[in-house]
Amino acid sequence: MVILTLLAMLAVMVLLAFFRSSIWGWLLAMVVFVFIIAIQSKLSADLFQVAIILLVLVIAVLGVPSLRRRLVSSQILKIFRKTLPHISQTEQEALDAGTVWWDGDLFSGHPDWRKLLNYPKPTLSAAEQSFLDNETETLCAMLDDWDITHVRQDLPPQVWQYIKDNGFFGMIIPKEYGGLEFSALAHSAVVAKLASRSITASVTVMVPNSLGPAELLMHYGTSKQKEKYLRGLAQGKEVPCFALTGPFAGSDAGSIPDYGIVCYGEFNGQSNVLGMRVTWEKRYITLAPVATLIGLAFKLYDPDGLLGGQTKRGITLALIPADTPGVQVGRRHFPLNSAFQNGPISGQGVFIPMEYIIGGMDRIGQGWRMLMECLAAGRSISLPACATGGVKLAARTCGAYSRVRKQFKLPIGKFEGVEEALARIGGNAYLMDAARALTAAAVDMGEKPSVISAIVKYHCTERARTVVNDAMDVHGGKGICLGPSNYLGRSHQQNPIAITVEGANILTRSLLIFGQGAIRSHPYVLKEIQAAQDSDTQRALLNFDAALLGHMSLSLSNAMRACLFGFTGGLGLSVPAGEKTRRYYRQLTRFSAAFALAADVSMLVLGGNLKRSEKISARLGDVLSQLYLCSATLKRFEDDGRPADDLPLLHWAIQDALYRIQIAFDGVLHNFPCRLSALLLRALIFPRGKYLTPPSDKLGHQVSVLLQQPGAARDRLTAGMYLPDDESDAVGALDAALHSTLQCEPLQAKVDAAHKAGQVTALGESMRIAETHQKGFINAEEAQLLERDYVLRRKAIMVDDFAPEQLVAAPSNLSDSER
């Protein structure tokens, strides 16, 4: 009897797990459940009849649409309308902006992995690859980051000119306007390569191709505006900036106090011109000190009714030439010793004509939506690329330095403490580059993934901080002494810039990722909200009923899937083939179902308070983020042809992310306000307890070894970074030193053996090599190799020193020839 009952209960779970799209699946499960109770409890005939009658009533109410709407959905709709938190206009526009892509699959609890893997492999065109290999390579070779950040606090004039002349400012602009019309993937690849050489250069190139005048004009500009400005922007004749942030409106950009008043005024010698007097105060504006064209966000008011309609017209965007009378470009900010041009900009009652509004008068009041739509794409590309480029540099140099640098007669990479840091560096680099490429590819497929853009912005910049900190620890004193030989110090200093801009990371994690995703990416929540806001009563009820029914079915299905797959580890799931990856797809499917369940319970129990439960929201966002990062990592492994050499990187990245998911879920459950709900969720999500562990020491050792020796896996991991072949360059010398060290190890062993035996007595290494050669233990060619190896290793580990006057930056009044 017990076995029969257990089998019947398992059948209920399977029905609920797999009949997610139909009410009849879970109504059938209810019938089975009643029979289980009847058999187990040995109900009398009368009680059994009562149970059947009640079950029939439930089926009638829920299964007959007209009865369900009248008795159930209408009542829930009333409650839903009362408890629905107020959504401001800016919040609504943010929700409406962008598209739902793979995040929708993850939110459903039923990710279609084959759909993900069938997306085209991210690939550059021949022209884009040529630009990366030639123009971008040349630009990188022109960059001396110490000269840029310490001596000049700016790019050299020849670099500025090269950037303008070769179309770096016009990568996203269509060819018809003189631009390069590159893909998002190419834009990302260029920024990443530049970031591996100079953050100043990467930011300078990144900003005109991200959220700013060019992108806004392409999407919303009038034909006249496009003709007037895009060609100049593409050719570098115009230098753009976009002014959004001000002293009293940072992350809450929708509260900008800057305003414009519709009025008549004089412009270019003409009187009685319809326009606006705009007053603004902005700060942190990249390229503002050198900009010729200013994009500006402000709130427009029409107190005299010159436009007709409302007085408050909403956030509006305009393009203003920097030489317009009244525009005040302030002095430069100095963000953490970075030399990219950044500063405040303001204006008091600056009169501009209506034709300066981006998109013309039809776009008045649509500025916030325009910004959100562009940000959804732009944030997906630039900052993740910048972070990934720096991480590739850290991975390449840390691996080489750990093999070249010796202490206690051993390469420091053989010490387990250093191995731990190297494993984090390698695993994070692999995962970040996968997320960068997949997200850029999504943009190229026409998506504007607003939730995913927040995920990659947050996690790429945060993981970059972790990687750079680890890299600094590995390099020790080499990392903390600034100078031409230091390739990490500026990255360590300037990493917080990326963490702060385009949505501070603290708020991105606690408010945006899950807060926006719970509404935007969920299969039914947005439909329920839209139905609740519909003034047509009958249509609202029909749409709400359909969404509610689907939502309930999905939630029950995910509850059973989470529990069932938590027990089995996902056994029985149909997932993509692959002996080494099958278990990961199963675990991710399990956690996707658990996440969807936890999200639904959180919204049901906390309601409007979820918006203020930022720590719960942040942890749920962590789960969603790790699910996406794992998806990107698996996609990369498949696209690369499942190279066996990359398996340590794949395993480390996925196992680390799965463990983070487990921690995030545990944090949600431990802190969930309703303890009964928390206990129920814990039983469903962790039916076997928390059994996942972080990557093992053995796996970390494998990743560490991979970073410390030349090979295809190391080259794939750092592909796309700038790697100078000049041994006078610090990075070039270090890479050459790695190859030399490995080549000379057998020869060095001969020298060490002769010294240990007392046959060679010289104390200094260079003299010891000479004596070993002189006594015939090595030949002339071998001695030459060892001498070169000594020179390269010495250059790799040495740091810079300066005369006092060299540590004073060049005065700003010096000409370029004097600097």
pLDDT band of 58, cuts 50, 70, 90? low
pLDDT score of 376 more than 80: no
pLDDT score of 537 more than 60: yes
Q: Give the pLDDT mean for 489-496.
A: 94
Helix 450-475 to helix 614-639 angle (10° resolution) is: 80
pLDDT score of 194 more than 90: yes
pLDDT score of 7 more than 80: no
d(CA 306, CA 299): 16
* Burial tier of 641 (Cβ tally within 10 Å: 0-12, 13-18, 19+): exposed
Q: Give the pLDDT mean for 299-324.
A: 95
Lowest pLDDT segment from 78-87, 275-284, 387-396, 702-711: 78-87
**Spatial CB neighbours of 602, under 8 Å, sequence gap ≥ 6:** 518, 610, 613, 616, 620, 668, 672
pLDDT band of 819, cuts 50, 70, 90? very low
- Return the pLDDT at 1: 47
87 alpha-carbon distance from chain centroid:
26
- Return the pLDDT at 44: 60
Q: Give the pLDDT mean for 625-654.
A: 98
pLDDT tens string 768-801: 999 999 999 999 999 999 999 999 999 999 999 9
pLDDT score of 635 more than 50: yes
Q: Which two tokens stand for residue 546?
A: 């359909």
* Burial tier of 190 (Cβ tally within 10 Å: 0-12, 13-18, 19+): buried
pLDDT score of 818 more than 50: no
pLDDT tens string 664-701: 999 999 999 999 999 999 999 999 999 999 999 999 99
- Return the pLDDT at 24: 54
Q: Give the Å distances, CA to CA, from 804 to 144, 481, 536, 807, 808.
A: 21, 15, 76, 6, 7
* Burial tier of 457 (Cβ tally within 10 Å: 0-12, 13-18, 19+): buried
* Burial tier of 303 (Cβ tally within 10 Å: 0-12, 13-18, 19+): exposed
Lowest pLDDT segment from 169-178, 363-372, 515-524, 630-639: 515-524
pLDDT band of 37, cuts 50, 70, 90? low
pLDDT score of 815 more than 80: no
Q: Give the pLDDT mean for 652-673.
A: 97
The mean pLDDT of the chain is 89
Of the chain, the percentage scoring pLDDT greater than 90 comes to: 71
Show the DSSP H helices in 481-613 as ranges: 489-500, 505-507, 513-520, 525-533, 537-568, 582-606
- Return the pLDDT at 95: 66
Q: Give the pLDDT mean for 532-557.
A: 85
pLDDT tens string 566-597: 988 888 788 898 889 999 999 999 999 999 99
Q: Give the Å distances, CA to CA, from 574 to 110, 113, 585.
A: 11, 9, 9
Active site residue 176: no
* Burial tier of 77 (Cβ tally within 10 Å: 0-12, 13-18, 19+): buried
**Cβ pair 453, 376 in contact under 8 A:** yes
- Return the pLDDT at 63: 66
Q: Which two tokens stand for residue 38?
A: 């009847």
pLDDT band of 412, cuts 50, 70, 90? very high
Selected catalytic residue, list 181, 502, 771, 782: 502
Q: Which two tokens stand for residue 251?
A: 């992350």
d(CA 730, CA 413): 19
pLDDT score of 32 more than 90: no
pLDDT score of 31 more than 70: no
d(CA 463, CA 472): 14
d(CA 197, CA 142): 10
**Spatial CB neighbours of 528, under 8 Å, sequence gap ≥ 6:** 80, 544, 547, 548, 551
- Return the pLDDT at 732: 96
- Return the pLDDT at 530: 84
Question: How is 395-432 classified by DSSP, letter by letter?
Answer: HHHHHHHHHH-EETTEEGGGSHHHHHHHHHHHHHHHHH
Lowest pLDDT segment from 439-443, 469-473, 813-817: 813-817
- DSSP letter at 511? I
**Cβ pair 173, 187 in contact under 8 A:** no
Q: Which two tokens stand for residue 571?
A: 């056994």
Lowest pLDDT segment from 19-23, 48-52, 194-198: 19-23
Residue 711 amino acid letter: G
- Residue scoring higher pLDDT (645 or 763): 645
- Give the helix/strand (H/E) hosting 777: none
pLDDT score of 2 more than 50: no
Greatest Cα-to-Cα distance within the chain, rounded to the nearest angstrom = 108
- Return the pLDDT at 784: 95
Q: Give the pLDDT mean for 92-103.
A: 79
pLDDT band of 26, cuts 50, 70, 90? low
pLDDT band of 311, cuts 50, 70, 90? very high
* Burial tier of 299 (Cβ tally within 10 Å: 0-12, 13-18, 19+): buried
d(CA 570, CA 556): 17
State the pTM of this model. 0.92
Lowest pLDDT segment from 30-34, 176-180, 198-202, 561-565: 30-34
**Cβ pair 781, 122 in contact under 8 A:** no
pLDDT score of 60 more than 90: no
- Return the pLDDT at 30: 56
**DSSP 3-state of 197:** coil
Q: Which two tokens stand for residue 816?
A: 């370029």
- Return the pLDDT at 723: 96
- Return the pLDDT at 740: 95
pLDDT score of 388 more than 50: yes
